[in-house]
Structure 1
Amino acid sequence: MITVPRNDNSVVGRWWWTVDRWSLGAVLLIMGVGVMLTMAASPPAAERIGADSFHFVRRQLLFLPVALAVMLAISLAPPRMVRRLSLVVFAVGLAALAATLVVGTEIKGARRWISLPGFGTVQPSEFVKPSLAVISAWLFAQKKLNPRFPGFLLSTVLFAAVLGMLLMQPDLGMSVVVTVVWAAQFFLAGLPIWLAVMGTGLAAAGLVGAFLTFSHVQARIERFINPDAGENYQVNTALEAFMNGGLFGRGPGEGTVKAQLPDAHTDFVMAVAGEEFGLIVCLIVLLLFAFITLRSMSRIANETSLFIMLAAAGLVIQFGLQAFINMASTVQLMPAKGMTLPFISYGGSSAVAMALAVGMMLALTRERAGLGEAS
């Protein structure tokens, strides 16, 4: 058990007594579940590409310590440092996001990744997503402090630039997450009612436009509304895995869904959890994500700094929404969407990017009384 005296005024000592240790513990538990499920789900995927059974396991075990170090290091930072870091990450990420349209690696008809020697493929949008939330929060807050500052306009321009590049890849799921988070922050910052109504209309028109423009979006929505309208193999197989697992599961290594689903170690990792470990373990994972989301929201409810409140809220919404989309699409509560489950689905860049977001979330939700940290 870690013991740190309350009068320890070192950086680590102050961090220990101000950080949300319950949320931190829940994140560490999720990481542990992720290692277990990667070991369970990834061997068939590795064998399909001609690698040895533990190829993905070794890579995930290589990236998770890096992700953990990133998360803990950033959680030590004061709000001002979080804002500066976000600016750097956003600038680099936006350039990389633009580069995917030119030199990106095409996978399943989409250009969302850039190949880096020795690192594999990186999805820049994963890093743009949390950094945009922090920058938008600062711009909104500055607008409230100085009405003449064009914070709303600048944030809208940045959001539109990111959204446009995401739709060109195309990546509708990430576009929805970025839009929901930005709209929520704008609303919390005091969005005028007429803008809220107009924004809702534009969002609805955008969804209709995506349905009419992108054939894969149309196919997924039609299959969701009418499962008999077309091929629905992955979702049906995932649902069958949950039924086979029951309450307690078939046991580690006894599942068959991981050999049938190409994305069992990424988008459909919860299907493996349901089949091998049962409904109870799936509910525990769900409760861990819900606990982190709700607890973090409760910690910022009385925050006096508008920037900290908006930035933390945006990061928390991102975290909870991404987990919800992954789990809901797995059990057919919404159309299937390729989105990873934070810290559980396989993916090195996804784990590091999520660690960046959670590290900033932990930094911004620390207790500020007596710290004297500028926002």
Structure 2
Amino acid sequence: MSTILQRIQGDRTLWAIAIILALFSLMPVYSASSNIAFLYGSGNTLGMLGKHSIHLVLGLILMYAAHNISYKHYGPLSIILLPIAVVLLIYTLLQGHSVANASRWIQIPFLGWTFQTSAFASIVLMIYIARYLSKVDPEKLKSFKKTLVPLLGPIFLVCGFILPANFSTAALIFTICMVVLFIGGYPLKNLLIIIGSGVAGLLLFILLTLAFPNMSNRVETWKARVANFSEGNAEENYQVTKAKMAIAEGMVVGKGPGKSIQKNFLPQSNSDFIYAVIVEEFGMIGGVIILMFYVMFLVRVLIISQKAESKFGMLLAAGTGFAILVQAFVNLGVAVNLLPVTGQTLPLISAGGSSIWMTCLAIGIILSVSRGQITEETLEAEQKETPENIPAHA
């Protein structure tokens, strides 16, 4: 055990949060998968649990590998990976695997699994932005024209290719990018121009889809979800209604593991609406505990960002960490009907290979940043090893 702990470096609290959430996910995923298993005719919930377990093991291996790489290497790597991510997004949009008329996945050869390219592109984009903001001359950063192509171009490319099939993900990535730009010292005036351009681009896309309906049918889906949310139409907003029933039936202590009833009626009960299943089975206490774990995750990300030894490390930890947290709170907000249905998974808990892998990769990168911090413990260790403290016979 001590050997394993010696190999695990970085922020131990963040490690503990990630592992606890991953292990806990086995119970609600197994319970909520019964609906999905019978829906597709297999009825094999153990098979779905095994698949989720494999995803978790691969994710934790990816996290460990990512945390062993110096975070300084991720900056140059993002320059190579960004064009690859854009190509994958284009391929996904044109030839990807579609679910509910939305092309968001590509098929992984030989395994039969699907991979959501937007998750990979978002991490690469965050790394690229953090690197650019830390490397560029502050005077150049003040110029909108000089940063238009190298900094803003990738943001609009990535978000633009995700938008037609997944508005919520594109909006979340765009929002996190704006936060990272603000933290990185990008002028507020230029930020407002970017936000205005983004809104204008969205309106243009909506107008084009209304003029050419064959281009995309996602706008009608967006309109329906926002309308149902604002009007509180329970008949049309079936998913949220069942989620609220699950939360209400959970009461304080819940029905117990595996005893959820609404999981049999909730679409995507093991992914998008897994928080409702958790509250029904573990009650308000379980729901609050899960929420507190994400709050602790936020605290650790802020601490790691604050203690980072470089501007790149600070922006890298903040960008990748905030991306995970925003996704988590959006998922929770949808489950309790604070936000319209978006289709965002709950990080480290929901079923889904690409979500688990990319979340673990992001956490591994944050842990890599925490490895580079000079803590009081390392300073004390270094002081003990100074020449004056080494015995003469050593």
Which residues of 2 match residues 125-274 of structure 1 at below 5 A? 125-144=118-137, 147=140, 153-168=149-164, 170-205=165-200, 214-228=219-233, 231-274=236-279
Provide the residue aligned with 1:59 in structure 2. 51
Distance, in Å, in 2 between the alignment partners of 1:346 and 1:4 is 27
Q: Residues 230, 144 of structure 1: CA spacing in aligned structure 2 closer, same or farther, 3 A cutoff?
A: farther
Q: Alignment partner of 1:301: what SS?
A: helix
Q: Alignment partner of 1:112: what SS?
A: strand
Q: Give 1 or 2 for the bigger CA radius of gyration.
A: 2
Post-superposition shift, 1:366? Answer: 2.7
Aligned with 2:299 (options 283, 294, 301): 294
Deviations 1:180-236 (A, max 9, x none): 111111111222232133234345555666777511111111111111386011001
Q: Residues 4, 216 of structure 1: CA spacing in aligned structure 2 closer, same or farther, 3 A cutoff?
A: closer
Letter in 1 for 2:183: L
Distance, in Å, in 1 between the alignment partners of 2:104 and 2:162 is 8
Aligned with 2:95 (options 87, 95, 103): 103
Q: Alignment partner of 1:349: what SS?
A: helix
Structure 2: gaps (5+ residues):
210-218, 379-394
Distance, in Å, in 1 between the alignment partners of 2:243 and 2:315 is 36
Distance, in Å, in 1 between the alignment partners of 2:232 and 2:197 is 28
Q: Residues 87, 105 of structure 1: CA spacing in aligned structure 2 closer, same or farther, 3 A cutoff?
A: same
Q: Is the 8 A contact 2:33 2:45 kept in 1?
A: yes
Distance, in Å, in 1 between the alignment partners of 2:290 and 2:234 is 32
Q: Alignment partner of 2:137: what SS?
A: helix
Distance, in Å, in 2 between the alignment partners of 1:165 and 1:316 is 23
Please give the TM-score of this superposition, normalised by the length of structure 2: 0.85
Letter in 2 for 1:311: L
Q: Residues 68, 89 of structure 1: CA spacing in aligned structure 2 closer, same or farther, 3 A cutoff?
A: farther
Which residues of 2 match residues 57-96 of structure 1 at below 5 A? 57-96=49-88
Q: Residues 30, 296 of structure 1: CA spacing in aligned structure 2 closer, same or farther, 3 A cutoff?
A: same
Q: Is the 8 A contact 1:173 1:337 kept in 2?
A: yes
Q: Residues 230, 246 of structure 1: CA spacing in aligned structure 2 closer, same or farther, 3 A cutoff?
A: closer
Letter in 1 for 2:116: Q
Q: Residues 4, 334 of structure 1: CA spacing in aligned structure 2 closer, same or farther, 3 A cutoff?
A: closer
Q: Is the 8 A contact 2:250 2:284 kept in 1?
A: yes
Post-superposition shift, 1:90? Answer: 3.4
Letter in 2 for 1:167: L
Aligned residues: 361
Cα RMSD (Å): 2.4
Provide the residue aligned with 2:384 in structure 1. none
Aligned with 2:287 (options 282, 290, 298): 282
Structure 1: gaps (5+ residues):
6-11
Deviations 1:301-344 (A, max 9, x none): 24351111111110111011010111101111111110111111
Deviations 1:255-306 (A, max 9, x none): 1111101210110001110111111111111111111112211221243511
Please give the TM-score of this superposition, normalised by the length of structure 1: 0.89
Q: Residues 152, 27 of structure 1: CA spacing in aligned structure 2 closer, same or farther, 3 A cutoff?
A: farther
Distance, in Å, in 1 between the alignment partners of 2:276 and 2:325 is 19
Higher mean alpha-carbon deviation, 92-101 vs 36-45, is at 92-101
Q: Alignment partner of 2:339: what SS?
A: coil
Q: Residues 262, 228 of structure 1: CA spacing in aligned structure 2 closer, same or farther, 3 A cutoff?
A: closer
Letter in 1 for 2:40: I
Deviations 1:146-186 (A, max 9, x none): 84995563121111111110113x21111111101111111
Q: Residues 246, 210 of structure 1: CA spacing in aligned structure 2 closer, same or farther, 3 A cutoff?
A: farther
Q: Alignment partner of 1:156: what SS?
A: helix
Letter in 2 for 1:351: I
Q: Is the 8 A contact 1:143 1:152 kept in 2?
A: no
Aligned with 2:28 (options 9, 26, 37): 37
Q: Alignment partner of 1:191: what SS?
A: coil
Distance, in Å, in 2 between the alignment partners of 1:195 and 1:354 is 30
Post-superposition shift, 1:81? Answer: 2.2
Q: Alignment partner of 2:349: what SS?
A: coil
Q: Residues 299, 291 of structure 1: CA spacing in aligned structure 2 closer, same or farther, 3 A cutoff?
A: same
Aligned with 2:326 (options 318, 321, 338): 321
Post-superposition shift, 1:113? Answer: 0.7
Q: Residues 340, 104 of structure 1: CA spacing in aligned structure 2 closer, same or farther, 3 A cutoff?
A: same
Deviations 1:132-155 (A, max 9, x none): 101111111111368499556312
Q: Residues 282, 207 of structure 1: CA spacing in aligned structure 2 closer, same or farther, 3 A cutoff?
A: farther
Provide the residue aligned with 1:8 in structure 2. none
Distance, in Å, in 1 between the alignment partners of 2:147 and 2:188 is 18
Higher mean alpha-carbon deviation, 258-267 vs 188-197, is at 188-197
